[in-house]
Amino acid sequence: MGQEHSNTNDPKENIVVPTEYNIISGLIGLGPDILLEILNEMNNLPDAQKFLIICKKTFELMKHSRFTKIIESLRFVKYTFLIPDKKYRIAESNQFIHLEPDFEHCTVALNPVLSNGIFRIEFIFVNHDEGLHYCVGIAESSCVFGSGKGPDDDGNDKKTVRYWNDGDVGHIGYNYIKGNKEFKCGQKVAIEANLYSKPFSLRFFIDNEEQQNNFIYIPSEIRFW
């Protein structure tokens, strides 16, 4: 038995018509898959929210099966340690370990630089000598911490906000503000920076309890440390 073949010479019958086009008409000319990739490349939720309300087409992305996963990924920032001297200090996953017998100051900033969003980070100190002061805070993005230096050395007292374990908070120089609670090893110390709505602000929490001394007019670009 023979097979039948189409002998048509009309090239139009062999053309596959795409369902999505990249039309030369700006952002709204892109298909949903490309728009979702743009959304996926954003660094924070406020930017994503602005993107979604550009037009009806971007708003419709919320119905896409990939949307929830992309938004969940934007809710979390992946931090990395900027360790000034690795001689006695190591980083494992989300833990920074200060090894004995090194008792020098060690201030570790975290990448990335944060801007245009609302960011929160939580710290827990473990097995720290309670006789020695330790602290958490924020720094201007240009701030660099040297090896064996505290967060307020080398002029960084004017570039950092420092919440010490005795409850004192230092900001712009060596003037300390009292009133926040002390914290100890095992307690959860959280920092929340609002870099989305002006004036930019900073809040502190101990075991999820907001502290009374907070700050406004912080820099537009910061790092946690």
What's the pLDDT tens digit per position in 193-210? 998 888 999 999 999 999
Are 108 and 64 within one domain?
no
* Structure-token match 């898959």, residue found: 33
H or E element in which residue 137 lies? strand 135-140
Mean pLDDT of the chain: 81
pLDDT score for 65: 81
Q: Has residue 29 been placed in a domain?
A: yes
Query: Could you tell me if 136 and 170 lie in one domain?
Result: yes
Q: What is the pLDDT along the chain (225 residues), one digit of tens a residue?
A: 444 444 555 554 555 554 554 444 455 667 888 888 887 777 666 677 778 877 778 888 888 888 777 766 666 787 888 888 766 566 676 778 777 655 678 899 999 999 887 888 999 998 887 778 899 999 999 999 988 899 999 999 999 999 999 999 998 777 899 999 999 999 999 999 998 888 999 999 999 999 999 899 999 999 999
Q: Strand, helix or coil at 59? A: helix
* Side chain identity at residue 214, one-letter code: N
Do 40 and 93 belong to one domain?
Answer: no
Residues 109, 207: one domain?
yes
What is the C-alpha to C-alpha distance for residues 65 and 219, in angstroms, rounded to an integer? 37
**HEC profile of 155-216:** CHHHCEEEEECCCCEEECCCCEECCCCCCCCCCEEEEEEECCCCCCEEEEEECCEECCCCEE
Q: How far apart are CA 97 and CA 86, in angstroms?
A: 10
Cα gap 23→87, rounded to integer Å: 56
Q: What is the spatial distance between Cα 120 and Cα 118, in angstroms, rounded to a whole number? A: 7
| 194 and 146 fall within a common domain | yes
Domain range for 141 is: 80-224
CB 162 within 8 A of CB 133: no
Query: What is the model's pTM?
Result: 0.67
One domain for residues 120 and 149:
yes
> Do 37 and 100 share a domain, yes or no?
no
Specify if 119 maps to a domain. yes
Q: What is the pLDDT of residue 58?
A: 80
51 and 162 part of one domain: no
The verdict on 69 and 84 lying in the same domain is no
Is 31 a member of any domain? yes
Condensed to tens digits (0 to 9), the pLDDT of residues 150-169 reads: 999 999 999 999 999 999 99
Q: Answer yes or no: is 1 within a domain.
A: no
Contact of 222 with 196, CB cutoff 8 Å: no
Q: Would 6 be classed as within a structural domain?
A: no
Whether residue 116 lies inside any domain: the answer is yes
The pLDDT, as a whole number, for residue 5 is 44
Does residue 108 form part of some domain?
yes
CA–CA separation, 187 and 11 (whole Å)? 73
Between the alpha carbon of residue 38 and those of residues 19, 31, 59, 178, the distances in Å are 20, 11, 14, 45
The torsion angles phi and psi of 122, rounded to 5 degrees, stand at -125, 140
| Tokens read off for 199 | 């004036």
Residue 184 lies in a domain: yes
Domain CATH number, residue 136: 2.60.120.920
Q: Are residues 148 and 220 in the same domain?
A: yes
Asked if residue 140 and residue 202 are part of one domain, the reply reads yes
Q: Tell me: the pLDDT tens digits for 93-105?
A: 677 877 765 567 8
Residues 102 and 50 placed together within one structural domain of the fold: no
| Number of domain units in the chain | 2
Tokens representing 213? 């001394």
Cα separation, 73 vs 40, in Å, equals 8
